[in-house]
Chain A
Amino acid sequence: MSLPTDRPATRWERFKDNDIVWSFFHSPGAVIAAVVTLLMILACVFAPVLAPFDPFDPAQISLWDGKLPPAWVEGGQPQYLLGTDNQGRDMLSTILYGGRLSIIVGLAAVCLGMVLGVTLGVVSGYVGGMTDAIIMRIADVQLTIPGILLAILINGIGRAVLPLELRDDFAIYVVIVAIGLTDWPQFARVARGATLVEANKEYVQAARIIGLPRWLIMIRHIFPNTLRPVLVIATIGLALAIISEATLSFLGQGIPPTTPSLGTLIRVGNEYLFSGLWWITFFPAIALVVLVFAVNLLGDWMRDALNPKLR
């Protein structure tokens, strides 16, 4: 603990002084993982600028160019660096656009799961009693069902409810909701655990004596103090959500093949794998593995850095 000086620290000084920031710059694994994650996210976000082709523009797609191998393989063409898929789309461009979709779906699903889970977890932990019992039993029951099956179920119901002509347009939102609803019990458990610890601390008792109502104590005092463990879960949850999306799409339950995501690309490629067209599956799969691995490494580092016992 540094001694208080006369001048309060600026935000930048506080940031530099932060132990977690320090720990980050002193663990090479975390820095590499963060750089890789950031690069991949940026590449996907700026896909329209970076990608040599637009896979959604029929004018740029020619079936004559379909199934071309990567540029360095015999028969490859230099403008298609990673080759083309069965419809003649450039693999590199399709991966960038597909990655974009995967990341968006992952982030949105984690956010949904986090908001839902943390809200229920904090309420459950602070209010206790019957409320706690009901919320946590629902979470327990949900955890007994394999996540991907539940996501398929929710996804199926979601699609069945939608009118036929809207299905493809809304497919991405249905996937987000399906993964988000599958995710929440993890967040709820972590948030509830942290809440139980915080609620017994004296600053919460002080807030009660001041006369603050329960909802205000939960929002202002308890919620900010449960964020650390929740962020760790959220990072690992992001990797899981990206995988869930890929799995759903691979099984043909998620994003329609016309809008490529990493999962749909792998699925399409899978059909051609034994015909020797390995690149249609290989490159999206590598992109998925690298992205998930980097995000997981980041989550691992964060779990260690935020755990005072390991420091």
Chain B
Amino acid sequence: MTELLKIEGLDVEFPTRRGTVKAARNVSLTVNPGEVVGLVGESGAGKSTIGNAIIDLLETPGRVAGGSILFQGEELRGRDEDEMRTIRGDRIGMIFQDPQTSLNPLMTIGAQLVETIEKTTGLTGADAEARAEELLAQVGITEAKARLKAYPHQFSGGMRQRVVIALALAGDPDLIIADEPTTALDVSIQAQILDLLKRLCRERNLGVIIVTHDIGVIANIADRVVVMYRGEVVETGDVAQILGAPNHEYTKSLIAAVPRADRKLERFTSVDYIEGDAKPFSRIDVQNHWLGQARSDRQAKAAVEVDNLNLSFVLQKSLLKRNRRMLQAVDDATFSVAAGETFGIVGESGSGKSTIARMIAGLYQPDSGQIRVFGEDVSTRPASATARQARRALQMIFQDPYSSLNARMRVMDIVAEPIRYHRLTGSESETRQVVSDLLDHVGLGAAAGLKYPHEFSGGQRQRISIARALASRPRILICDEPTSALDVSVQATILNLLKDLQEELGLTMIFISHDLPVIRQMCDRIAVMRHGQICEIAEAETLFEAPTHDYSRHLLDLMPRMDLLGTDRAVPA
């Protein structure tokens, strides 16, 4: 027996009312025992479709239209549902993206494991329970016996994903298909999970297909890489070759778009964000342009100052104070952002970085502490007229491009809303002119104004958000994970756009991200946050080259680094 899995000429189609969508075309790939194959591509590339097609779990109305899937020499196509079910549990294991939804919240971990073990191996009763305990121990869960009685909600995200892996291993499969197994997890947990998968692959001589959009994950774990683009395999090769010396143009541009962690670049290379009839990016003469008008040149050194800011959320309400459970989301945060600088806030999920941004933007009211925008205190309630005025200098760009635009308004009206409400122009015709100018400027073209948000892709929507933020003529822009919902090549275009705008308009930026390489490319100074507290504030270069706080060092160690590929350092222990 040679290959564990051999896919040849696979075609997958989704017939829809607007014609047949070919999600995968002529895809061929092989997986050997003891090998991790990375299936990488951007959204819509068809990478998940391949994984689902192998185990016959395509979403309706999808179907395999051609080609063959040979698993241990047997054809998997054309099997009936009963046969597929035994293959799925016993011989091919699946790991899905979201550990929240892949476990049944009403059953204990033990019951779910025992159920799967009984179904796949025929062990029963105490034997099955012993096996469940063994599996939990194998995926690195301590005190396995006691944990069997726990429910999924008592586990953290990373622990849950370990349980999902244990479930996938229950039938002692020969192949594991992991679909974005770490996308919902923090970096430190991501590293542990990838490590676990790699170890299991080597120990049990398993074949692993890992489907991901994240080149960093590929660099960490894969032996071979299959690059997909619009349903086709564009390049297959050894991981060092694909990442180090890619042959195909698409692979090259994909790798070029990944933010580098090892040094700062002026901007991302070879990425063009101009579309439709938009004019090439041209500098605005800020003195004469509408965007530059009415800027009172206040001589404040600091754009934003935050003093001893605190905010706690109530986790459990109670009439009695001692029974209340609180979460200190932001704990005594103090920093200041100089005018014209880009200030980064980095941390894992739940570290309070977004909460700080929302307090500065006025969406949350702090429990105590002071926020000053250009020297004006904006944290008092009710907000005074001057505070409201000061806050208008501040706009925010959100993470999710799909919920940050009102689906029932035309793009034109979305962007014009702040202009119309604050009467920033003299007439309606001037408003229209300014809006089409802005849309042009973010690289969309003025015709975009007549359409509705659903007609645009994620990256394009994010540009509409940016245009809307600019329409208030802000001097401070808060970007809360502006690119974490986007594909890597689109991320590069948005980051380039933000850099261009900042330079030309002299914006102050507060840039929040969990992604260290992105932070390094964007920011002048960086604050590292953990559990609501600021651990360290340092110049970007200082932080990356010589971090002083233990936690900063820890985060930097976990960062996947493509430049160290091939050495042992590429896989964090």
**A interface list, Cβ under 8 A from B:** 1-2, 4, 6-9, 22, 201-203, 205-212, 216, 220-221, 224-225
Contact = CB atoms under 8 A, between A and B. Distances in A.
B398 A211 contact: no
Q: Which 10 A-B pairs have the closest CB atoms?
A: A8-B450, A202-B404, A202-B398, A224-B408, A201-B403, A210-B418, A203-B406, A4-B455, A202-B403, A8-B451
B417 interface: yes
Given A8-B451, A201-B403, A211-B422, A206 B396 contact: yes
A277 to B, nearest CB: 53
B422, B451, B465: residue with the most chain A Cβ atoms closer than 10 Å:
B451
Interface in B381-411: 388, 391-392, 394-396, 398-400, 403-409
Given A202-B399, A207-B417, A6 B447 contact: yes
A206 B478 CA distance: 11
B361 interface: yes
Contacts of A202: 398-400, 403-404
Contacts of B396: 205-206, 209
A4 B358 CA distance: 33
Contacts of B388: 211
Interface in B409-468: 409, 417-418, 421-422, 447-448, 450-451, 454-457, 460, 465, 468
Nearest to B394: A209
B407 A225 contact: yes
Contact of A7 (B408, B447, B456, B468): B447
A9 B410 CA distance: 12
Contacts of B469: 206
B451 A209 contact: no
Nearest to B388: A211
B9 interface: no
B455 A206 contact: no
A2 B18 contact: yes
Contacts of B405: 203
B158 interface: no
A209 B404 contact: no
Contact of B276 (A6, A210, A220): A6
B298 interface: no
A144 B465 CA distance: 46
A55 to B, nearest CB: 45
Nearest to B413: A220
B362 A208 contact: yes
29 contacts: A1-B454, A1-B455, A2-B455, A4-B451, A6-B276, A6-B447, A8-B450, A9-B455, A202-B398, A202-B400, A202-B403, A202-B404, A203-B403, A203-B404, A203-B406, A205-B361, A206-B404, A206-B465, A207-B406, A209-B363, A209-B396, A210-B417, A210-B468, A211-B391, A211-B418, A211-B422, A212-B417, A221-B406, A224-B406
A185 B452 CA distance: 33
B317 interface: no
Contacts of B391: 211
A216 B358 CA distance: 21
Contacts of A205: 358, 361, 363, 396, 398
Number of chain B interface residues as a range? 35 or more
B508 interface: no
A209 B361 contact: yes
B455 A225 contact: no
B277 interface: yes
B322 interface: no
B472 interface: yes
Interface in B459-498: 460, 465, 468-469, 472
A225 B472 CA distance: 24
Given A1-B454, A8-B451, A206-B396, A211 B403 contact: no
A188 B137 CA distance: 52
Nearest to B478: A209
Contacts of A208: 362-363
B442 to A, nearest CB: 15
A206 B361 CA distance: 10
Nearest to B275: A4
A172 B361 CA distance: 53
A305 B398 CA distance: 30
Contacts of B361: 205, 209
Contacts of B395: 209-210
A207 B418 CA distance: 8
B558 to A, nearest CB: 29
Contacts of B276: 4, 6
Contacts of A7: 447
B360 to A, nearest CB: 10
B17 interface: yes
A219 to B, nearest CB: 12
A4 B456 contact: yes
A169 to B, nearest CB: 41
Nearest to B404: A202
A210 B460 CA distance: 21
B421 A206 contact: no
Interface string B348-381: 0000000000100111000000000000000000
Contact of A6 (B277, B362, B399, B468): B277
Q: Most chain-A Cβ atoms within 10 A of its Cβ — which of B388, B395, B408, B460? A: B408
Nearest to B407: A225
A225 B408 contact: yes
B448 A211 contact: no
A226 to B, nearest CB: 10
A64 to B, nearest CB: 61
A12 to B, nearest CB: 15
A209 B477 CA distance: 11
B313 to A, nearest CB: 14
Contact of A210 (B277, B407, B408, B421): B421
A211 B418 CA distance: 8
Contacts of A221: 406
Nearest to A22: B17
Given A6-B276, A205-B363, A211 B421 contact: yes
Contacts of B363: 205, 208-209
Contacts of B404: 201-203, 206
Nearest to A1: B454
Nearest to B418: A210
A207 B456 CA distance: 20
Contacts of A216: 421
Given A202-B398, A202-B404, A206-B465, A211 B392 contact: yes
Nearest to A205: B363
Nearest to A7: B447
A6 to B, nearest CB: 6
A2 B452 CA distance: 12
A4 B454 CA distance: 9
B472 A210 contact: yes
Nearest to A210: B418
Contacts of A1: 454-455, 457
Nearest to B460: A4
A206 B392 CA distance: 12
A59 to B, nearest CB: 54
A205 B403 CA distance: 10
A216 B417 CA distance: 11
A201 B398 CA distance: 10
Given A8-B450, A208-B362, 9 more contacts: A1-B457, A6-B277, A7-B447, A22-B17, A201-B403, A209-B396, A210-B421, A210-B422, A210-B468
B468 A206 contact: yes
A207 B465 CA distance: 11
A6 B447 CA distance: 7
Contacts of A211: 388, 391-392, 418, 421-422, 472
A22 B18 CA distance: 11
Contacts of B468: 206, 210
